[in-house]
Amino acid sequence: MIRKVMARISEFDDVSQFDALEVFAREGKWQLRYMAERVASITAWEYSEGFREGLEQTLAEAGARHRVAICDSFEEIKKPEYRDAFDLVSMEGPITCHGHRVEHHDLFPAVFRVLKDRAWLLPEIFTDVDHYRQRQNRAMVERRVKDARRKFYELPGDMDGTVVPVGHAVAKYRKLAEDAGFKVLRHFSMPRNWDHGDMWYVAMALERA
């Protein structure tokens, strides 16, 4: 589905000129590889040293100019060298990061400082964490994770954070962007896979006000 997301973005902007960032890269064998084939340059952050070799190989094969940093993305994003650096920031993160972080929540509001004056933000959300874990044959997430999701997306009292409707996510990202001094030019959302529908992309074109 990332192909369709990038194709949709390319209807509005020339993605071949983009300097892009993937915040949670792993080995980059699927989403990141395809993005790297489309953009001018890609910066990839990954927490685990064990993924470095595979990540470097993936990006080299894709042919884009690239830079890999083995780092804590939540700290890396605060560095001054990245200010106003990227046309596209992709945040395809796990449900829990480094043991205590939940999804990409703690990247806000710092993520806005690395965007160019006109840029795309591409977070991926888990719209149903129980369904996702069942599909992966994994244990259900901790109560603290659902509580964090409920708080971050400002869900109503009758929702416990298991499900996050796409509309709620869009509203939250819009508010965060506007609070950071950006206006939302356009947005769209797509499921990562129509067969299960528990993970969605939200793509937002932003412009610094």
Domains along the chain with CATH numbers: 2-128+164-208 (3.40.50.150)
Q: Which of 96, 114, 107, 126 has its CA nearest to residue 19?
A: 114
Check residue 63 and give its pLDDT. 82
Check residue 15 and give its pLDDT. 97
Q: Which residue has the tokens 């060298």?
A: 81
Q: Tell me the β-bridge partners of 163.
A: 128
Check residue 31 and give its pLDDT. 85
CA gap 20, 14 in Å, rounded? 12
**pLDDT tens sequence across 153-200:** 999 989 999 999 999 999 999 999 999 999 999 999 999 887 788 999
CA gap 158, 114 in Å, rounded? 36
Check residue 194 and give its pLDDT. 74
- Give SS3 for 69: strand
User: Is the N-terminal amide bond of 109 cis, ω within 30° of 0?
Assistant: yes
Residue 29 has pLDDT above 90, yes or no: no
CA gap 139, 204 in Å, rounded? 32
